[in-house]
A and B are shown apart, each in its own frame.
Chain A
Amino acid sequence: MAVCVAVIAKENYPLYIRSTPTENELKFHYMVHTSLDVVDEKISAMGKALVDQRELYLGLLYPTEDYKVYGYVTNSKVKFVMVVDSSNTALRDNEIRSMFRKLHNSYTDVMCNPFYNPGDRIQSRFVCLGRAFDNMVTSMMIPVC
C-alpha cells in the first residue's frame, strides 16, 4: 500500500529507503528529504511535553497532488517516513498506524541483532542483516507495484 518507505536516522541520514521501482525513485527520495523538515517541526512542537506523553505517530506530514506523506518517530529520534498514493483512499489512519507499528517492531528486531551497529544501513542482501525487515517492507508495498 505504501509507495515508498524510508527509515531516517537521528542525524537525518537515511538508514533504509525503498520505493516501488516503477516510479522515479529520485522523486521519492526528494519527498522524504523534504518531509524531514516537517517531522522536525512536529517533534519540536511536542517536545515541550514530557517524553512519555509524546505521540510516536506523527500523522499526515503533508499532502501533495499525488501522494501523501506520513511520519512516525521513535523515542530514539529515528524517523519512519511513508509515502502513500493519494488515489488510494481506502487507506485509513488506523491502517497507517498499524503499518508504522509493524515497521517499528521490525526495526527493533533489527536493533536487537548484536551484529547490527546502530547507524549502519539496514542491508537486505542474501546473507545479511535486515532480511526480515526487508520482507516486512515488501509486504507493505505490495500490491501497489
Chain B
Amino acid sequence: MEAAAAAAAGGGCGSGPPPLLLSEGEQQCYSELFARCAGAAGGGPGPGPPEAARVAPGTVTAAAGPVADLFRASQLPAETLHQITELCGAKRVGYFGPTQFYIALKLIAAAQSGLPVRIESIKCELPLPRFMMSKNDGEIRFGNPAELHGTKVQIPYLTTEKNSFKRMDDEDKQETQSPTMSPLASPPSSPPHYQRVPLSHGYSKLRSSAEQMHPAPYEARQPLVQPEGSSSGGPGTKPLRHQTSLIRSFSVERELQDNSSYLDEPWRITEEQREYYVNQFRSLQPDPSSFISGSVAKNFFTKSKLSIPELSYIWELSDADCDGALTLSEFCAAFHLIVARKNGYPLPEGLPPTLQPEYLQAAFPKPKWDCQLFDSYSESLPANQQPRDLNRMETSVKDTADLPVSTQDVTGDDKQALKSTVNEALPKDVSEDPATPKDSNSLKARPRSRSYSSTSIEEAMKRGEDPPTPPPRPQKTHSRASSLDLNKVFQPSVPATKSGLLPPPPALPPRPCPSQIWAIMNSVAVNICIQVVEWSEQVSEAELLPQLSRAPSQAAESSPSKKDVLYSQPPSKPIRRKFRPENQATENQEPSTVASGPASAATVKPHPTVQKQSSKQKKAIQTAIRKNKEANAVLARLNSELQQQLKEVHQERIALENQLEQLRPVTVL
C-alpha cells in the first residue's frame, strides 16, 4: 500500500505532493477510513460542502460527502481544511483518490499536531489524525498507534453482538455503510454509542437508519441519531466497548459504563466476557477443567472467519504450554484475541500479561467443585501425584503379604490401593506421550470407573455366586497401549475379591487357581493360615494390604487359574493344621496361605487356636518378605512382557510406515 500510495502520489499528480511514506498503523487507519468513505459512495452522499470536489465516476474514490464529514470531524478550521484539500491534490484532480485521501489525512494529523499545513510537514512522523465524530455507531477516536486502534469498533461490534461468527461477514458489509453516515461537526456532547441500542432492536434500527441516512441530508441525520442514541442510555465516550458487546448478545440492554478497564487495556477480560467464554468452552467441552483438543478448537475458531495465518498466530500466542490443547484460560485468551482481532485490533507481538493463563486463573478462579474433583486428574500427570501413587502401591504390596482381611475394611482399602495402582500404572503409559496430556485425563478417568465396576463385582461375589471363569491370560498382541491390557488383566483379578481376598494390583496377570496347588497342599498342613489370620487380627490395618501382593504373587507364579476351585477350597483350609514353614521355598504355600487367609478370616474366630504368638509373628514377617519378593518378581516379569509388547508394536509401526512410504507417490523436490 505504501508503494502504491507513493507511486500513485508520484504518478497521479505529477507536480503534486511528494511520495508519502506511511507507517503501518497509519496505513491501517487510512485504509479503513478510505474504505469507509469509499463505501459510502455507493449510497449517494448528500450535498456536500462547497469545497467537496465532485466524485469522478469510475474511479475508486472517496465520496465527497463522507470525506467532508470526516474532515470536519477532525475539528480543524474550515480554512485549514481548504488548504489541506488543495494541497493533497484533490482539487486539482477533482476527486479524492487514495493518494489524495491519505495525504489529506496526514495533513490533518499534522495540523492537529500544530504543524503548518505544508507538504514538508507530512514527511515526518506524525500521530494519527483525530476525528471526533458523533455517529450513531459511536465515537471513533484515532489515537496514537501506541494506543488501541478503536477504528473499527462499530463494525465488528455489531457482529460480535450477534454472537455468531457465521454472520459476521454480512454484517460487516452492512456495517460499513452506516459509519459514514455520521452527523456532526460540533464536538459531540454525548455521542450515542451504538452499543446502547438493544441488540435486536439496534441492528434493525441501524439498518433502517442506515438506509434512511443514505439519502437524507446531512443535518437531518442528526436528529435521527440523537434520539436513537439518547434513547439507549447515558453518554459513553469509549470506543472500546466492543468487548462487552459479546455478552450483550444475550442481554437486551447493558450498561456501558463498566469499561474503565478498557481505557488502558483491550486485553483485559471482563466478567461478562469471561462468562461468555466459559459458556462457549462448556459447549465444546463439558468439563471446565479439562482441555479442548486442537481439532475441536480449530473448527470452532475457524468459524470466526479470520484467516488461517491469523488464527494460527493467535493459537501460538494463547497456547502457552504448546501442548496442542487449550485449557479454560488458554481458551479464553484465544477467544479474546480473536474478538479483538475482529474488532480491528492488531494482534500483539506477545501474549499480553492480562491474558496469560496464570493471570486468568488467578483473576477468575474456578469454582471449587470444578477444581477439586478434576484437578487431580486434569493435570498432565503431576509429578507429585505419581510418586504418591507409587508409594501407595508399594505399601499396599507389602502389606498384603500375610493378611487375610476382615472383608469390608480391606476391600475398601483395596479399592483405594487398586485405584492408586491403576492410576499410577496408566499414567505411566500415557506419560510417555507428552503431546497428549489430555489423553491421560481421560485415561485416568477410566480407572475410576473400573474400580467401581470391580466393587459391584465384589459385592456380587460376596453373595456367594460362583466367580466367573477368569479369561485367559492377556494376548501378547493388542491394538492399543497397555491400558487395555490392564483392563483385561484387572477384570479377571476382580473375582478374586469375592471371598474377601484383596484384589491384586491390576498390573498382574489373573490369579491362578490354586486347585492343583491345593492338591499339593492337601498334604501340606496349612496351619499357617490360621496363624496368619490370627496375626492379622493383631497387626494394624496397614498391613492388610500386603495381602494383595500374595494374590498377585500366586497369580504370577501359577498357570492360568480356575478361581472357582480356589474359593471352594478355602472352607476346608482351617482343617489343615499342619504347619510346614519349610515349604516356604515352594510358592504353593503362599497361595494356600493367601487363599486360606481371607477365607479363614471368618473361620478363624471359631478356631481360637492358641499358638506361640512370637514365632507366628516371626514367620509371618518372613512370609511377608517372601511375598514381597515374589511380587517384585511378578512385576518385573510383567514389565518385561510389556516391554516386549512395546517392541512388537514398534516393529509393527515401522512396518506400517514402510508400507506407507512405498504406497505414497514419490514427490519431487
Q: Which residues of B contact A (CB under 8 A)?
A: 293-295, 297-298, 307-313, 315-316, 319, 322-324, 347, 435, 647, 650-651, 653-654, 664, 666-669
The answer to whether A112 touches B323, judged by C-beta atoms less than 8 angstroms apart, is yes
0/1 interface trace, chain A 90-129, chain B, CB 8 Å (1 if under): 0000000000000000001101111110000001010111
A-B contact pairs, 21 of them (CB 8 A): A11-B666, A12-B667, A12-B669, A33-B669, A109-B316, A109-B322, A111-B324, A112-B324, A113-B294, A113-B315, A113-B319, A114-B297, A114-B298, A115-B308, A116-B312, A127-B307, A127-B309, A128-B313, A129-B313, A129-B316, A131-B316
The CA of A13 and the CA of B668, in the complex, are separated in Å by 7
The residue from B297, B650, B669 contacting A13, defined by CB atoms under 8 A apart: B669
Contact (A132, B316) CB under 8 Å given A109-B322, A114-B297, A115-B311? yes
Q: Is A66 in contact with chain B by the CB < 8 A criterion?
A: no
Inter-chain pairs besides A111-B324, A127-B347, 19 sampled, C-beta below 8 Å: A12-B667, A13-B668, A50-B647, A50-B650, A50-B651, A108-B435, A112-B322, A112-B324, A112-B435, A113-B315, A113-B319, A114-B294, A114-B297, A114-B298, A115-B311, A115-B312, A127-B307, A127-B309, A129-B313
Contact (A51, B654) CB under 8 Å given A33-B669, A112-B435? yes
A-side contacts of B308, CB under 8 Å: 115
The answer to whether A113 touches B312, judged by C-beta atoms less than 8 angstroms apart, is yes
The CA of A123 and the CA of B313, in the complex, are separated in Å by 11
The CA of A125 and the CA of B313, in the complex, are separated in Å by 10
The residue of chain B having its C-beta at the shortest distance from the C-beta of A9 within the complex is B667
The residue of chain B having its C-beta at the shortest distance from the C-beta of A114 within the complex is B294
A-side contacts of B322, CB under 8 Å: 108-109, 112
B-side contacts of A123, CB under 8 Å: 309
The CA of A108 and the CA of B347, in the complex, are separated in Å by 23
The residue from A13, A33, A51, A128 contacting B667, defined by CB atoms under 8 A apart: A13
Contact (A114, B295) CB under 8 Å given A13-B669, A33-B669, A108-B435? yes
The CA of A108 and the CA of B436, in the complex, are separated in Å by 12
The answer to whether A114 touches B315, judged by C-beta atoms less than 8 angstroms apart, is yes
| B42 smallest CB distance to A (angstroms) | 30
| Secondary structure of the B contact surface, majority rule | helix
Q: Is A65 in contact with chain B by the CB < 8 A criterion?
A: no
A-side contacts of B311, CB under 8 Å: 115
The answer to whether A115 touches B315, judged by C-beta atoms less than 8 angstroms apart, is yes
Query: Which residue among B313, B347, B666, B667 has the maximum number of chain A CB atoms within 10 Å of its CB?
Result: B313
The residue of chain B having its C-beta at the shortest distance from the C-beta of A105 within the complex is B322
The CA of A109 and the CA of B651, in the complex, are separated in Å by 27
Tally A residues with Cβ within 8 Å of B. 23
| A137 smallest CB distance to B (angstroms) | 15
The CA of A129 and the CA of B317, in the complex, are separated in Å by 10
The answer to whether A125 touches B309, judged by C-beta atoms less than 8 angstroms apart, is yes
B-side contacts of A111, CB under 8 Å: 324
The residue of chain B having its C-beta at the shortest distance from the C-beta of A116 within the complex is B312
Q: Across the A-B interface, give the 3 residue pairs with the lowest CB-CB distance, nearest first.
A: A114-B294, A115-B312, A112-B324
| A16 smallest CB distance to B (angstroms) | 14
The answer to whether A129 touches B435, judged by C-beta atoms less than 8 angstroms apart, is no
The CA of A127 and the CA of B324, in the complex, are separated in Å by 19
Query: Which residue among A12, A108, A123, A128 has the maximum number of chain B CB atoms within 10 Å of its CB?
Result: A128
The CA of A116 and the CA of B654, in the complex, are separated in Å by 25
B-side contacts of A51, CB under 8 Å: 650, 653-654
The answer to whether A129 touches B309, judged by C-beta atoms less than 8 angstroms apart, is yes
The CA of A34 and the CA of B593, in the complex, are separated in Å by 70
The CA of A52 and the CA of B310, in the complex, are separated in Å by 37
The CA of A67 and the CA of B324, in the complex, are separated in Å by 37
The answer to whether A128 touches B669, judged by C-beta atoms less than 8 angstroms apart, is no
The answer to whether B294 touches A112, judged by C-beta atoms less than 8 angstroms apart, is yes
The answer to whether A131 touches B319, judged by C-beta atoms less than 8 angstroms apart, is no
B-side contacts of A109, CB under 8 Å: 316, 322
The answer to whether A11 touches B312, judged by C-beta atoms less than 8 angstroms apart, is no
Query: Which residue among A33, A108, A113 has the maximum number of chain B CB atoms within 10 Å of its CB?
Result: A113
The CA of A50 and the CA of B643, in the complex, are separated in Å by 13
B-side contacts of A13, CB under 8 Å: 667-669
The CA of A132 and the CA of B347, in the complex, are separated in Å by 15
Query: Which residue among B309, B312, B322, B666 has the maximum number of chain A CB atoms within 10 Å of its CB?
Result: B312
The residue of chain A having its C-beta at the shortest distance from the C-beta of B346 within the complex is A127
The CA of A51 and the CA of B311, in the complex, are separated in Å by 35
The CA of A11 and the CA of B667, in the complex, are separated in Å by 6
The CA of A51 and the CA of B293, in the complex, are separated in Å by 28
The residue of chain B having its C-beta at the shortest distance from the C-beta of A117 within the complex is B308
B-side contacts of A114, CB under 8 Å: 293-295, 297-298, 315, 324
| A3 smallest CB distance to B (angstroms) | 21
A-side contacts of B312, CB under 8 Å: 113, 115-116, 128-129
The answer to whether B309 touches A128, judged by C-beta atoms less than 8 angstroms apart, is yes
B-side contacts of A127, CB under 8 Å: 307, 309-310, 313, 347
| A58 smallest CB distance to B (angstroms) | 18
A-side contacts of B316, CB under 8 Å: 109, 113, 129, 131-132
